[in-house]
Structure 1
Amino acid sequence: MKPIESAEDISELAFGFMASKALFAALHVDVFGALSDGPKSITDLAAATKVPAQRMQTLVTALVSVGLLTRNDGKIANAPASDAYLVRDNTNYFGDYLRFQIDRQMYPFMENLDKVLLGDTDDIEYPDYASWMADRHHAELFSRSQHSGSLGPGAVMAKRLLKEGAVSEDVGSMLDVGGGSGAFSIMFCKRFPKLHATVLDFPNVIEVGKTFVAEEEMSDRIDFVAGDGTNANWPNDQDIVLMSYLFSGVPEEAIDKLCSDAFRVLKPGGLIAIHDFMVTDDRKGPALAALWQLQHMVYTPDGVGMTPGFVEKHLKKAGFEIEIDDDLIPGMTRVMTARKPG
């Protein structure tokens, strides 16, 4: 990333939250859905969203200025990416992830960042991930919104592991530690027809996961174990142990135990797959991965901003042999796989 050089560059960073809130507000009133059947005038768009025209005009101007909408001959239309990813009925929609988890949870949590940096956490309502997920409302909101944001990466990861020969098509068992809504397990089961997955997560979280699995008619292939992945009893004889976004949600001291527990329950030749936010080993970026690590610190103050080298070190310490290290969500997450010797 090139160092910034002007006051305008600083202002663009400082005022960036305004663009975020414009996006979230548009999702909440379904601006993008209202435009899914074609361009509209401000008057028609205001009527469709039940937002007064003067206010809609101001919101639309902001959305056009950041590229989420276009304006031509007095008509407002979705930008291509908005049409593909922010319209609720579309297959690739992840707007609920943005408007609920990011806007309603992550955004206000960041108000505590300065307190966490200084260790002044006594009056923070949720000082760690476990206490946050113990709140039934927050656990449900987080899990439901995260589901829509994880289906795509789960599908990409399953396809890649098959293509690269890391996992065979007839693989039989997978433990999804911290698997939340079951999104990754669902997409893995769709890719691997003989797979049976077990999702291990907090009690409030797995209740949400059970509903998604039932909707996919996969209750006979995906089951759930309630518990904290850092100290629960893990089922043995696994072909795969998957940990997606888990390392970034636990204290650094827990990572060695997670790796050793995975090594213990895997069959000889079994695979561990780590998917998480990772910056480069020189810690110069990418920006989205670095910012997500900063956000996670708000409710995991003793966590660590991971690099590929850091993850590799802990996996090797547990006895694994590294196989794959590559981007999954470009500029944001990486996947690293390692094998238990056969």
Structure 2
Amino acid sequence: MDAKKDWTVGELLGTSSGYWRSCALHAGVRLELFTILGDQRLDGGEIARLTKSDARGIGLLLNGLAAMGLIVKSADAYANTDFSRKFLDQSSGAYLGHIILHHHHLVDGWAQLDQAVRSGRPVEMRSYGEEKERESFLLGMFNLAMGQAPRLAAQLDLKGRKHLLDLGGGPGTYAIHFCLANPDLRATIFDRPTTEPFARQTATRFAVDGRIDFQAGDFNVDPIAGHYDAAWLSHILHSSGYEECERLVAKTVAALEPGGLIMIHEFILDDSLAAPLFPALFSLNMLINNPHGRSYAEGELRGMLAKAGVTDIRRLEFTGANDSGILCGVR
């Protein structure tokens, strides 16, 4: 919603009850409802059987999802919309269910936002199992990155660059697509050891495993081994406080050769810190999950780069999902 727009009572109540919609979507994904439907039309009884659900319960959920426009109801049969078939069916290469499950895992924390605001600290949340939560997060990041990495790789000028550092790269989606777009480029992903299997599987899937290395460690603590002429920091600074971000940017710049390129991809606030909407709300998401993290303004990111000795700082002509942007500069 436009921050300058006058609210109506309907919009206020719609915002207050907005979690009904998200919880209905989460339930559909958790029940694998959209995957079960696939390209079929099934009646409510068959869907109840296949999802091992109560007939009344699944009927109400199906009708709710139909009202949301995610399912088509015809007589007593239900089918996916084209959109749901593409983004909510696990057999689709564009599946976004993992990030939706990650959002579901955050719901308990958001319900305690007032407590986090009072304490200034993260809240305790229900555990869905460490492996499940890690999988939904990493594969969710992969899903989101796949939606923009090919376009970004074609847009970024990495010509002549030989070795890219993907700091906190998770499954390595961006590094992989940068390598695909630049045949002479190799990349090193630096992330926690638990992410290495995902990164190696993804690199093998795209047939660039011979050009992708993995360095296991905690980039906030461990040294960055090797020398690079490009560095990519995508959605990692928001997990740290400002001073820690300054140290991490300086540490990354120190690993670059003279003339090396550093690129920071984040949800970027304007300098008021109160817009755009998604980065402002994302700061609250960090509050409930993280002791120091938040979204940063463009001016703050520029300050981090300048303090590390970076020159030619500029914002690229790129707007990603949820108002993400890229600042870059040269050592």
| Paired AA for residue 328 in structure 2 | T
Q: Distance in 2 between matches of 1:175 and 1:60?
A: 46
Tell me by how many angstroms 1:71 deviates.
Answer: 2.7
Question: CA 1:26–1:137 in 2, change beyond 3 Å: closer, same or farther?
Answer: closer
| Paired AA for residue 334 in structure 1 | G
Alignment partner, residue 102 of structure 1: 103
Q: Contact 1:323 / 1:336 at 8 angstroms: preserved in 2?
A: yes
Q: Distance in 2 between matches of 1:273 and 1:205?
A: 22
Question: CA 1:19–1:147 in 2, change beyond 3 Å: closer, same or farther?
Answer: same
Q: Distance in 2 between matches of 1:136 and 1:35?
A: 27
Alignment partner, residue 318 of structure 1: 308
Alignment partner, residue 254 of structure 1: 244
In structure 2, which of residues 183, 196, 218 is the aligned counterpart of residue 228 of structure 1? Answer: 218
Alignment partner, residue 87 of structure 2: 85
Root mean square deviation, CA, Å: 2.7
Alignment partner, residue 152 of structure 1: 147
Q: Distance in 2 between matches of 1:122 and 1:70?
A: 40
5+ long unaligned stretches in structure 1: 127-131
2:261 aligned with 1:271:
yes
Moved more, 177-186 or 207-216: 207-216
| Paired AA for residue 325 in structure 2 | R
| Paired AA for residue 102 in structure 1 | H
Secondary structure of 2:174 counterpart: helix
| Paired AA for residue 110 in structure 1 | W
Q: Distance in 2 between matches of 1:123 and 1:324?
A: 35
What's the CA shift string for 1:141-194, capped at 9, x where partnerless? 532333233222332321221xxxx311x5321111111122222222222222
How does the TM-score come out when normalised to structure 1? Answer: 0.84
Alignment partner, residue 238 of structure 1: 228
Q: Distance in 2 between matches of 1:123 and 1:338?
A: 37
2:24 aligned with 1:22:
yes
Q: Distance in 1 between matches of 2:317 and 2:113?
A: 30
Q: Distance in 1 between matches of 2:199 and 2:235?
A: 16
Q: Contact 1:175 / 1:197 at 8 angstroms: preserved in 2?
A: yes
Q: Distance in 1 between matches of 2:76 and 2:315?
A: 51
Q: Contact 1:157 / 1:328 at 8 angstroms: preserved in 2?
A: no
Q: Contact 2:39 / 2:85 at 8 angstroms: preserved in 1?
A: no
Q: Distance in 2 between matches of 1:199 and 1:292?
A: 25
Which residues of 2 match residues 1-342 of structure 1 at below 5 A? 1=2, 2-3=4-5, 5-99=7-101, 101-104=102-105, 106-119=106-119, 121=121, 124=124, 138-161=133-156, 166-168=157-159, 170-320=160-310, 321-340=312-331
What's the CA shift string for 1:66-93, capped at 9, x where partnerless? 2222334444332332222111111211
Secondary structure of 2:316 counterpart: strand
| Paired AA for residue 167 in structure 1 | L
Alignment partner, residue 129 of structure 1: none
Q: Contact 1:156 / 1:328 at 8 angstroms: preserved in 2?
A: no
Tell me by how many angstroms 1:294 deviates.
Answer: 1.6
Q: Distance in 2 between matches of 1:201 and 1:284?
A: 31
Q: Distance in 2 between matches of 1:85 and 1:95?
A: 7
Secondary structure of 2:296 counterpart: coil
Q: Distance in 1 between matches of 2:99 and 2:122?
A: 29
5+ long unaligned stretches in structure 2: none
Question: CA 1:252–1:194 in 2, change beyond 3 Å: closer, same or farther?
Answer: same
Question: CA 1:253–1:125 in 2, change beyond 3 Å: closer, same or farther?
Answer: farther
What percentage of aligned pairs have identical amino acids? 24
Q: Distance in 2 between matches of 1:94 and 1:189?
A: 24
Secondary structure of 1:298 counterpart: helix
Q: Distance in 2 between matches of 1:123 and 1:102?
A: 16
Q: Contact 1:277 / 1:293 at 8 angstroms: preserved in 2?
A: no
Q: Distance in 2 between matches of 1:254 and 1:280?
A: 21
Moved more, 106-115 or 271-280: 106-115
Q: Contact 2:120 / 2:287 at 8 angstroms: preserved in 1?
A: no
| Paired AA for residue 118 in structure 1 | R
Q: Contact 1:323 / 1:337 at 8 angstroms: preserved in 2?
A: yes
Secondary structure of 1:294 counterpart: helix
How does the TM-score come out when normalised to structure 2? Answer: 0.87
Secondary structure of 2:257 counterpart: strand
Question: CA 1:325–1:28 in 2, change beyond 3 Å: closer, same or farther?
Answer: same
| Paired AA for residue 308 in structure 2 | A
